[in-house]
Amino acid sequence: MKIVILDGAGANPGDASWAPLERFGEVTAYDYTAKDQVVERSKGAEICITNKTVFDADTLRNLPDLKYIGVLATGYNVVDLGECKKLGITVTNVPEYATFATAQMTIALLLELASRPGMHSSDVMDGGWCRSPQFSYFLAPLTELVGKNMLIFGFGKIGRRVAAIASALGMKVSAVPHRAEEGSAVIDGYEIPFTTLDEGIKTADVISVHCPLTPETRELINKDRLASMKKGAFFINCARGPVVDEKAVREALDSGLLGGYGADVVTVEPMLPENPLLGAPNCVITPHIAWAAKETRVRLIEAAADNLDAFLKGSPVNVVN
């Protein structure tokens, strides 16, 4: 069986192994595949593994042997699911593999906005402390998080993990579940009350989003919602870039309405030179690495192999079409 991995460098830049997939057939792994190379490299393959390489309708029609596409990610918008269904191609994803790492990155971004360790370390390494007349100095306001109100939008496994960590830091956490609910949930012994986004946003000192990108969540955080936020609040986005209106976020940062923005995602990735967030004040952006801890990537490859195993045994799991 011929198995082709189109863009393996993300999940395995050389520090992991494709062995979990190699047990099913002959594996050819490419670090990156350009759009005009997809058909050529995938021809004759029954199994294709992709992360961000696009399988549109034209590409799929030119791959008559293809029976299965395994997406090495939770998001699967790179694959035309409707065309796959017509052609009898099964598509699977890997849900929830990065729960712990994404929650960790969320808190890391929050702590950078609150305590500024990266900013101060860079200044120290540049000689700033050597030049200081005092034993201590700070370059920006620092924020103590204990007692602060945190609102989490999207309360799946990642949102719940973030809630537990934030609660352990002494924050007062409330949540907006994916589906409207009343009441509360108990996470690791902490009671997390439910609210609505428009109600919770008014009093939140920190807002963190953990929802999929859908027509309903696109630009969920826009100029109007930013205007209703508590002045100086922090906003964290480890979900998807288009969940926010980046132009409106830049304006809110410039005016001081938004106290800080931390994100691991942007609307177009890789980031475009004209992205309005480049150079924004009180803004911390990482290049979509919340999922990239080695332990997480190893788990991802193993889960993708489990998906393929289930498909080959006739009982596919995590099917998205």
Tell me how far apart the alpha carbons of residues 106 and 158 are, in angstroms, rounded to a whole number.
10
Catalytic residue among 116, 210, 288, 297: 288
Tell me how far apart the alpha carbons of residues 26 and 260 are, in angstroms, rounded to a whole number.
48
Q: Which of 1, 120, 133, 92 is nearest to 321 (CA)?
A: 92
Q: Which of 279, 244, 248, 250 is nearest to 264 (CA)?
A: 244
Q: Which of 221, 76, 74, 69 is nearest to 153 (CA)?
A: 221
240 is catalytic: yes
Catalytic residue among 240, 250, 297, 299: 240
- Distance between the two ends of the chain, CA-based, in angstroms? 23
181 is catalytic: no
Report helix, strand or coil for 1: coil
Cβ atoms of 204 and 151 within 8 Å: the answer is: yes
Catalytic residue among 26, 144, 181, 269: 269
The answer for residues whose C-beta is within 8 angstroms of residue 143's C-beta and 6 or more apart is: 113, 114, 115, 234
Q: Which amino acids are annotated catalytic?
A: 240, 269, 288
